[in-house]
Structure 1
Amino acid sequence: MLTIGDQFPTFRLTGVVGGPKGLDPKTAFTTVTDADDPALWKVVFFWPKDFTVLCPTEITSFGRLTDDFQARNAALYGVSVESELAHMNWRIHHADLRDLPFVMLSDIRRELSQACGILDRNEGVPMRATFILDPDGIIRFVSVNDFSVGRNPQEVLRVLDALQSGEICPSEWRKGDPVLSA
C-alpha cells in the first residue's frame, strides 16, 4: 500500500459531477485526471461498492464538508470501482446523494485502486482508504478502515488543517489551537 511520502499515481477517470448536473445524462459525466486542480491539495477517498448501507453515510458526511475542504484549497474526489452509470443511478435513487457537491469517480478497471495498493484481495474492491495529497501529489496522510467501520471526515479535515499549518500539531489539535515547538 502507498504511504506517506509516496507520489500518488497518475490517473484518468470518468465520473459523475456534483450537484444537480450529476442527475442529467447530458451534463452528468466528466473526466478527471491527477493533473487537474494543480495548485490544490487533494483528498481522495475510496469506498467499496455503490448501493450499500454504510458507504452513503461516509459519502454524505464528506459532502456536507465540501465547502470546508474548498475553503482550505482542497479538491475532494470520491472513488469506487462501480461505473459512472452506476454512480449516477445510485444518486438518482438515493435522496441523500442527489445533490452531492463533488465528483464520484469510476475506477472500473481497478487501476487506481491497484496502484494505491488498497484493492482487497478477497473482495476485489477498494478498502475504505483516504489519502491527503499536497499540491505536488505527495501523500501526506493515509488511513484505511475495515469494511464494517465508517471513517470520520471531520478528522480528515482536522488533519488537512494540521498539515497545511506546517507546524507540529498535538493530538486533537484544531485550527487556531496552540502548536508545539521543538
Structure 2
Amino acid sequence: MSIVGARLKPFTAQAYRQGSFVTVSEADVLGKWAVFFFYPADFTFVCPTELEDLADNAATFRTMGVEIYSVSTDTHFSHKAWHDTSPAIGKIDFTMIGDPAGVVTNNFDIMREGQGLADRGTFVVDPDGVIQLVEITSEGVGRNAMELLRKVKAAQYIAAHPGEVCPAKWEEGDTTLAPSLDLVGKI
C-alpha cells in the first residue's frame, strides 16, 4: 500500500532546534507544507553531506512556506552534540527530531527491519497533513536539495491549480498539462 495520500499520524517527539530542545507533534506540522527528511544516524558519512545541502537551501524552503524536519532514531541530545561538533551540521537551523523509540520513523513506514535505523527517505506533507511525495534511496545514495525544491514547487503548484499536472523536468514557470480526452495519444 502506498503512503502517498495517507494522513500524517499522531506523534510527539523531542527535537533540537536553534540551540534549544523543543517538543514537536503533528499539530505543529498542520497548516503548512513540511519536509520530513529521514536519515540513518548521526555522526555518519553520507548523512552530513545531505543535511548540509538541505541547510544550505533551508532559507529557500522557508520562503516557500515549507518547514524542514530532519529525523533519525538518535536522541535530541545526540543531535545537539553533532550540531556542536560538525561544521556541516552546525549550519542547520531547522528542527532535528530525535526518535529513539521509532514512533515517527514507524509512522512513515521507513524503519529498517531489525536495525532500529531509518532508511534514507524524504516525505513532503501538505498543509492538510497529507503525504504528497515520497522518495526513498539506498544507503549509499545521497539526496539533492535542489531536486527536492523542484518537486516541492511542483506539489505546491498542482495543489493550487486543480486539474493541471507538471510534466517531467518541470521547473517553476514552465508549461503544465491539463489532462483531458483531447490529449490522449498526443503527447
1:2 CA displacement: 5.4
1:115 CA displacement: 2.1
- Is contact 1:82-1:107 (8 Å) kept? yes
1:179 aligns with 2:176: yes
What is the alpha-carbon distance in structure 2 between the residues aligned to residue 70 and residue 125 of structure 1?
28
- Is contact 1:162-1:173 (8 Å) kept? yes
What is the alpha-carbon distance in structure 2 between the residues aligned to residue 78 and residue 114 of structure 1?
15
**Mean CA deviation greater in 156-165 or 116-125:** 116-125
Structure 2 unaligned residues grouped into runs of 5+: 159-163, 180-187
Match of 1:44 in 2: 36
Structure 1 unaligned residues grouped into runs of 5+: 23-27
Match of 1:91 in 2: 83
1:77 to 59, 65, 69: 69
Cα deviation 1:117-160 (Å, max 9, x = unaligned): 11111422000011001101101001111011111121111111
Match of 1:32 in 2: 24
TM-score for both structures, normalised by structure 2: 0.88
Q: Map 1:130-145 onto structure 2 (within 5 A).
A: 130-145=122-137
- Is contact 2:73-2:116 (8 Å) kept? no
Q: Aligned Cα RMSD in Å?
A: 1.3
**Mean CA deviation greater in 2-11 or 141-150:** 2-11
What is the alpha-carbon distance in structure 2 between the residues aligned to residue 55 and residue 34 of structure 1?
24
1:129 aligns with 2:126: no
Cα deviation 1:21-64 (Å, max 9, x = unaligned): x2xxxxx2111111114321111110000000110011011111
The higher radius of gyration belongs to 2
Identity, % of aligned pairs? 33
**Equivalent residues, number:** 174
Match of 1:9 in 2: 9
1:61 to 41, 53, 56: 53
Q: Please give the secondary structure, in 2, of the residue aligned with 1:31.
A: strand
Aligned AA (1:181): A
Cα deviation 1:56-95 (Å, max 9, x = unaligned): 0110111111111111111110000101111111111101
